[in-house]
Amino acid sequence: MFYAPWYLLYFKKILSDIKEGFYILDINPLSSFIESYVYFSNSRYLLILYLPLIFYGLLKTKSKFRTENNTLLSYLIVSFIPFTISPMIPAKYIIFSYPAFIILVANGIAQFKRAYITAIVIFVVILLSGIELWGYVNYDDFDWKDLSEYLKPNIQEGDVIV
């Protein structure tokens, strides 16, 4: 209820932007980039967990592995470049950076010294993944046998079934 007055202003702004029945949202490169990584991580909540893990892993990595992490990080940075040219790029075009993204997340998880912290983080990742997948595939199982039994006595020659 607190936000109700703001909805009116929001819809007034949207309706004023619509001209001749056509509307395109204001899209910027950063929001498109973040949405692509939300698509990769399958959840906004997981992305919120993954980003600190990536930065923690980059900070805690020993110096001999730092160049490998910089290479992986460059994949993520390079994947941002297409969004500066055109912010409406589907995530499938930057899928090449997904393995680097996952390896950096795994590196962040591996940097924890205590096993119980690592176990808790992995449990939270699995839990958030399961929550996001709840109802992901919802098949409507239509009973075709009953339909065919209904049609047999009611169909006449020359009827077209669509």
pLDDT for 58 equals: 81
Of 113, 101, 126, 95, the C-alpha closest to 50 is 101
Domain ranges in the chain? 17-133
pLDDT for 1 equals: 47
What are the tokens at 162? 């669509």
Residue scoring higher pLDDT (89 or 56): 56
Tens of pLDDT, residues 5-58: 655 565 566 556 555 555 555 566 677 777 777 777 777 788 888 888 888 888
Tens of pLDDT, residues 94-138: 777 788 888 888 888 988 989 999 999 999 988 887 777 766 666
Distances (CA, A) of 157 to 30, 131, 153, 154: 61, 52, 11, 10
pLDDT for 114 equals: 92
